[in-house]
Chain A
Amino acid sequence: MQDITDRLRAELDERPAPPPAFAIAITVAAGRRAVRRRRVATGGLVLASALALATGWAATTGGVGHGREDGAPVAGTGHHGYRSVTDLNDLVPVRYEGDGALVVKEGWSITERIDDPLTGSSLWNEPALVVDSAAVVARRGDLVRWVILWQLDESSGGARSETEPGRSFPDLSAWVDYEVEVLTTSSTTRLVTLEDEGELRARDGVRVVGASEPLSALEGGVAVRLRVDGDTVWGVAHRQDDGSTLLRVALDYPTPEAPGTLAGFVDHLEAGR
């Protein structure tokens, strides 16, 4: 049998290819549109900071600025082929470098990775296209983090990190599905259900810390405070026509001015109507 390498070369190098179905100019035009969307957007760094502030989830920059690219201390090559650096924290021990590669905090390793969960999407309040994204399981001894991170361009992006993974979602993939839903739509159908009688039920692993009565100012929606994998999630649950329950996650609460209480959340919602 002919050696596989030779056969691959014979087939893939020498085989006549049909003419391409696209012109390079098409990619230039699409690229310009993507860049324009990025420019009209508010900065991704602002979004990342807002998410961290509002939800307690961690955020970090993606590719970071030129100074960071040049000045990031590099500790060496970490486990599993990832370069390790020393200027990350234990909350989000992973980030994108300027060349698009993931680096990990010294002492941590990446044991599982899902590529491009958000790539090509726009975040819920950010029209810029996500140009690169990944979700990983990072470990150092007994510490485990699930992290989803994304880049909007070379100088902006964000990340969210789960510090007590496995309580609400069985694995990284299930958590990523939830995160992608929330990040792109700011709502999810995966956490709670409003029963016919108005009773609120949480899925396994999700705890209802508090819930309001149906609020007439919110078309009968119920304000809820949940614990999801160790994090607090605020939102408004609505029963849909098809019987499902949509939870609109309040990524802008609590604010520095408003207390993180259910009553404060209801006031915040009603003030915003």
Chain B
Amino acid sequence: MRRTEREAAYVEFATARRDQLRRIAYGMCGDWHRADDLVQTALVRLYVAWPRVSRHGTEDAYVRRILLNAAIDESRRAVRREVPTDTLPDLPTSPGLGLEERDSLLAALQALPAQQRAAVLLRHWLGLPVAEVAAELGISEGTVKSHTSRGLQALRGRLEETEPA
């Protein structure tokens, strides 16, 4: 395949997946700016690997794995790029949940260890099978099960603490 054709296929894929990748990254880090950084990093690496991964039809799994690994790695290094500001940003209103409910969910999610958080998101938000989650995170299926079980338990416990009965 010629470069222009390859690039066209990459651009089509990246454009179609960008929104979902940003949401995955946001679920992992809880910050849209950092989510954009993570997605950009993942997409650049996808571009480099595109001839290989597109040949194997593994584009989705590859870019998601890169994205999650980057987010987990960032959590491990405890890199936090906080910018002091005098004003609080306006938060868009969610049609799904109220502001307090949403923030408590996100806060509870962010309090999970990074790999546990990734396992919960892949399994219980994206609905991937256990084997696929294990492959994407490079961990055993047993570990996926224990991560998701503990993660859900921790989420429920934290939400019960923060939300009125």
What is A's interface to B at a CB cutoff of 8 Å?
Answer: 1, 4-5, 7-18, 20-22, 24-28, 30-32, 34-35, 38, 63, 79-82, 98-102, 113, 115-116, 119-120, 129, 131-132, 134, 153-154
Contact = CB atoms under 8 A, between A and B. Distances in A.
Q: Which of A63, A116, A129, A153 has the most CB of B within 10 A?
A: A116
Contact of B56 (A5, A7, A20, A98): A98
Given A27-B47, A38-B48, 14 more contacts: A14-B94, A15-B92, A17-B26, A17-B32, A28-B47, A34-B48, A81-B131, A81-B135, A81-B141, A99-B53, A132-B66, A153-B48, A153-B49, A154-B51
Contacts of A12: 23, 26-27, 121, 125
B43 A18 contact: no
A24 B63 CA distance: 14
Interface in B1-19: 7, 10-11, 14-15, 18-19
B97 interface: yes
B126 to A, nearest CB: 9
A8 B156 contact: no
Given A4-B155, A22-B36, A34-B48, A27 B53 contact: no
Going nearest first, the 5 A-B pairs with the smallest beta carbon separation are A31-B47, A10-B96, A154-B52, A14-B96, A27-B43
Contact of A9 (B26, B47, B62, B125): B125
Contact of B156 (A1, A9, A21, A154): A1
Contacts of A35: 47-48
27 contacts: A8-B109, A10-B96, A10-B97, A12-B26, A12-B27, A13-B96, A15-B94, A17-B22, A17-B23, A17-B26, A21-B33, A22-B40, A24-B18, A26-B40, A30-B47, A34-B47, A63-B52, A81-B138, A98-B52, A99-B62, A100-B53, A100-B62, A115-B72, A131-B48, A153-B48, A153-B49, A153-B52
B102 A81 contact: no
A16 B27 contact: no
A87 to B, nearest CB: 19
A236 B10 CA distance: 46
B43 to A, nearest CB: 4
A131 B150 CA distance: 32
A157 to B, nearest CB: 12
A20 B105 contact: no
Contacts of A18: 32, 92
A8 B48 contact: no
A104 B106 CA distance: 37
A14 to B, nearest CB: 4
Q: Which of A10, A22, A34, A81 has the most CB of B within 10 A?
A: A81
Given A28-B11, A63-B52, A81-B135, A16 B163 contact: no
A11 B36 CA distance: 18
Contact of A7 (B73, B105, B131, B160): B105
B140 interface: yes
A17 B72 contact: no
Contact of B19 (A17, A79, A81): A17
Interface in B49-91: 49-53, 56, 58, 62, 65-66, 69-70, 72-73
